[in-house]
Structure 1
Amino acid sequence: MTAAQDMLERAAPATATRFDAIVIGAGMSGMYQLIRLRELGLTARVFEAGTGVGGTWYWNRYPGARFDSESYSYGFSFSEELLQDWSWSEHFAPQPETLRYLNHVADRFDLRRDIQFKARVSRAAWRDATRDWAVTLEDGSEFTCRYLITAIGVLSTPTLPRFEGMDSFRGLSFHTARWPHEKVDFAGKRVAVIGTGATGVQTIQEVAKTAGHLTVFQRTPNWCAPLHNRPITEEEQKEIKANYAEIFRRCQETFSCFLHTPDPRGTFEVTKEEREAFYEQLYASPGFGIWVGNFKDMLTDPAANAEISDFVARKIRQRVKDPKVAEMLIPKNHGFGTRRVPLETRYYEVYNQPNVLLVDSKATPIRRVTPTGLETSEQAYEFDIIIYATGFDALTGAFDRIDIRGEGGLTLKQKWSAGAQTLMGMLVEDFPNMFMLLGPHTALGNIPRSIEYNVDWVTALLRHMQARGLTRAEARPEAMAAWTEHVKAVGAGLLTNQVDSWMTGVNLNVEGKQTRTIARYSGSAPEYRAWCDRIAAGGYRELDLA
């Protein structure tokens, strides 16, 4: 019996059909929300499309997948016993270890008895007459609940390019987020990787170690910075466990819940020599410091951004031997940090290997996939394996895949046809009793820190309703409009919002997502929490409660 089969046997049996709450997704959000729902005494069922818990860390099994926020700042913080019981082996843990951790959490809190695996939700419809949700799975099973909670993730819906002939390829092919559970051997194989975003970078640097030949097809280069990962020593382990309270306090204080936060100085408040020394220090330091711990004006002042962009470009030229290849790897259409910065381990050195070729797929577009490889506008290539590192339909994509219908049959997709509208990224007018744990306009950054806060906020609202005999909650339209204006205001002047990326709602692989929108919350996490806390402290006046 496989581990996955064993988990399924221990999972919740599909007998009851009526619950107080249904949670969609058994990743970190869904697992933690289940724990909190039990504390409220509510009956709950979690529906999970996969065969095990873990969400992102269940689906993304590609080689090289790992944290790029420090392991000890990433795990759950709600249980001191859990913190002391688990020891991370590396400063930035690899995917297999993270999945083991999440299974450990599921075991410790006996979560699987309320989780139904291999259960993909296809439809959820609010019923005005009975004031509840009717939830339908892909297999036709139907369930009802008072509260519908989406724990479906920000980057959970993979997208594939629309190349002619993709189904004709006779070798192995898969998206990084749908990696086979069995080992994939690259030794001696001709491998193509399409895409050089965060997952592409992690995959490329691993595949290149053993592939017979690797061809990387790059549409848009990304600015990358060194991860500087290493094992955690025994002494460091003791120090981490003794200082978890301080670690999580620091995460609460910083702009995006990482251990790094912007330097209070402006770029041009120091001399050129001081700037250079600071950039060198950041480039040599582990984690996201060079992105989120840089000078305070790096992402608002074009001249300041040009300074750090020039520095990182020089680093790329130093690390890549072929000047032509180096220039191909240096972004020309956006500055450093204005898109998500992949962290890497000797990624640029990969292109110095004789078995690696970089192809500019913007200059020579891929025309079609063939039974033996693929063709660009310039030539044909033969491959044994094609890997699509082509990203995700971010923020709203996972919602779009479910037929979610609110009052009067209005679909969420219709509601958001001109762009997402939410209250704190957690509630939507016309969709009563639907709570989104990581909806659009939620504060992101170090995701588990956002998860724990949002789950606790939703749980506090449900507790408030329980205490007063209330059974219905919905965002007021004027509150949602005020929040949307706030989201726009905190994003004004940011260079990141002037660039096409998943963070601004643009995805060239998804029909109708070629225009920038206000897709994410660009303010600080403390600002976000203060807004949410004010609503709770004021008795939830921004919600219609009944």
Structure 2
Amino acid sequence: MGVEKDKGEDIGQFDVMVIGAGVTGLYALYRLRELGLSVQSFESGSGVGGTWYWNRYPGCRFDSESYTYGYSFSEELLQEWDWKEYYSGQPENERYLNYVADKFDLRPHIRLNSHVTSVVFDEDDGLWQINLEDGHRARGQFLITAVGSLSAYYIPDFEGIDSFKGDWCHTGRWPAEGMDLAGKRVGVIGTGATGIQLITEIAKEAGHLSVFQRTANYAAPLRNGLIDPETQRRIKANYPEIFKRCSETAGSFIHKFDPRSALDVTPEERLEQYERLWAEPGFAKWLSNFYDVMIPGEANEDYAEFVRNKIRERVKDPEVAEKLAPKDHMFGSKRIPCESGYYEVFNQDNVLLVDVREAPIERITPQGIQTTDAEYELDVLIFATGYDAVTGPLNRIEIRGEGGETLKDKFANGPRTLMGISSAGFPNLFTINAASVGNFVRACEPLVDWVSEAICYVRDNGYTRIAASYEAEDEWTKHVSEAGAKILRTQANSWFVGANIPGKARVLLTSPDTAPVMRAKRAEVAAKGYEGFLLQ
């Protein structure tokens, strides 16, 4: 199938085209350029940073340790950059990624304000063509979708949404100039990780805050703080060990599970460990716990009740506390939000929790929100309603492969790929955003390295195309289904399985394997001459 080439202005032809200039896109530019390839990124935003460019809402920050999140590819960068906080906030994260773009002179390879509407594979000459919203186009042999896993923001199709007379936004498109909330009646729909960060901050300035909750979450104290100079020196001296530890854990975080079962120790020992970990910062209370806390069963429920009791201790009104204590999903079946005073917000006189399980939202009105019970008058409405994860950002671009097939149609019943990276019938397309697992930068660097090496292998061995075989793709899809059914991430209605999007197929959207296992599988495939891939 050929591609029409006479429409729009031609930007040029490149060895590799990258969609996105966030964490993954920037590293892809650096790595591919270092290999001597011509590469161009197309970024829809007016600045680099991806997630950390768009998510400017109050309270937005890392939930993994700052020094485990930064890039590891440059020792000079590691020594130059000082993380100010243990869990860095959005403004500093955006500054960091701009610093990287400048330090490594990546900006000449980035076209900002370039929203990609479609990409089409030209079977005649084996090139991908990117078509931009502004009418420009570009062509290249290889295409990398560094579009993020959580970037396609989702707003439920509420009746009357366009009638609201106040200001409103989704957290993923928070205005650069901010929102004036001081003294106003503010409504927030959603109490996931984003909602929890946001609500904690805006409760300090809103005149009245109404929180519309469908699902309570097991949120745990972040315990953030400033990094003092001595700790900064110690971090910089220990980066090799820090990254080694991350590389050995299931989710590429610095925390490692206790190999003991929670049920093999006395109740007193168990509680002592729970309390000790609860006092530690970040994900330790989740990912350094007894290993079977993360397996469906008695140990998981024992710890879940410990967390519920922690919530009950902090919320004064027992009825409100019970609404905030999750009972409809297992601890760890959703990513655990970290918080800094979230539960105390509900002790404020100006904050109201509205349970939309009990009284669902019927419509948005010109004045606010109408539930089956009451109307809540608002000046500002904020949607913290999450994302169409992993496949969502891909499906919002018309991606056409061999025979004109669209990736959206192919993924209608869930992703069909080999290792999340490549899909049969879409040669030279690497869906990196669909292959990442865990602590993001620790996962994206080895992924980009693998893709870069695959591109070089194709070019150095006289091939022009690489794509998953249909047989290998079928085997991988079966593996995701069978292995995924056994893990905690598939046991809740979360974005991990697409359950937050009406009509989306319920399928595990990420790999069921740990990060070390995925790296080993990719390495084995490459060592066997890219077994499972068709090379032409």
The size of the alignment, in residue pairs, is 528
Aligned partner letter, 2:88? A
Equivalent residue number for residue 470 of structure 1: 463
Q: SS at the partner of 1:484?
A: helix
Query: 1:343-362 alignment to 2 at 5 Å?
Result: 343-362=338-357
CA distance in 1, matches of 2:10, 2:510: 39
Superposition deviation, residue 516 in structure 1: 2.2
Q: CA RMSD in A?
A: 1.3
What CA deviation, in whole Å up to 9, does each residue of 1:199-218 have, x standing for no partner?
Answer: 00000000011111111000
Superposition deviation, residue 489 in structure 1: 4.2
Superposition deviation, residue 418 in structure 1: 1.8
Equivalent residue number for residue 421 of structure 1: 416
Equivalent residue number for residue 457 of structure 1: 450
Aligned partner letter, 1:131? G
Equivalent residue number for residue 201 of structure 2: 206
Aligned partner letter, 1:73? T
Aligned partner letter, 1:87? D
Equivalent residue number for residue 296 of structure 2: 301
Query: 1:4-43 alignment to 2 at 5 Å?
Result: 16-43=11-38
Aligned partner letter, 2:466? A
Equivalent residue number for residue 509 of structure 2: 519
CA distance in 1, matches of 2:497, 2:321: 27
Aligned partner letter, 2:487? L
CA distance in 2, matches of 1:454, 1:301: 30
CA distance in 1, matches of 2:129, 2:42: 14
Q: SS at the partner of 2:291?
A: coil
Superposition deviation, residue 367 in structure 1: 1.4
Unaligned runs of 5+ in 1: 1-13
Moved over 3 A (4+): none
Query: 1:499-510 alignment to 2 at 5 Å?
Result: 499-507=492-500, 510=501
Equivalent residue number for residue 9 of structure 1: none
Q: In the alignment, is residue 532 of structure 1 matched against residue 511 of structure 2?
A: no
Q: In the alignment, is residue 169 of structure 1 matched against residue 164 of structure 2?
A: yes
Aligned partner letter, 2:78? L
Q: In the alignment, is residue 364 of structure 1 matched against residue 354 of structure 2?
A: no
Unaligned runs of 5+ in 2: 1-8
Query: 1:58-457 alignment to 2 at 5 Å?
Result: 58-439=53-434, 442-457=435-450
Q: SS at the partner of 2:102?
A: helix
Equivalent residue number for residue 6 of structure 2: none
Superposition deviation, residue 499 in structure 1: 1.6
CA distance in 1, matches of 2:488, 2:25: 33
CA distance in 1, matches of 2:387, 2:351: 25
What CA deviation, in whole Å up to 9, does each residue of 1:215-235 have, x standing for no partner?
Answer: 100011111000010000110
Equivalent residue number for residue 4 of structure 1: none
Q: SS at the partner of 2:245?
A: helix
In the superposition, the TM-score normalised over structure 1's length comes to 0.95
Equivalent residue number for residue 541 of structure 1: 531
Superposition deviation, residue 443 in structure 1: 4.3
CA distance in 2, matches of 1:524, 1:74: 18
Aligned partner letter, 1:529? R
Q: SS at the partner of 1:438?
A: helix
CA distance in 1, matches of 2:481, 2:379: 47
CA distance in 2, matches of 1:499, 1:32: 33
Superposition deviation, residue 522 in structure 1: 2.3
Superposition deviation, residue 492 in structure 1: 3.7
8 Å contact kept, 1:27–1:55: yes
Q: SS at the partner of 1:173?
A: strand
CA distance in 2, matches of 1:443, 1:38: 22
In the superposition, the TM-score normalised over structure 2's length comes to 0.96
8 Å contact kept, 1:443–1:524: no
Q: SS at the partner of 2:143?
A: strand
CA distance in 1, matches of 2:375, 2:477: 48
CA distance in 2, matches of 1:83, 1:434: 31
Q: SS at the partner of 1:336?
A: coil
Aligned partner letter, 1:542? G
8 Å contact kept, 2:24–2:448: yes
What CA deviation, in whole Å up to 9, does each residue of 1:73-114 have, x standing for no partner?
Answer: 001000000001100000000000000000000100111111
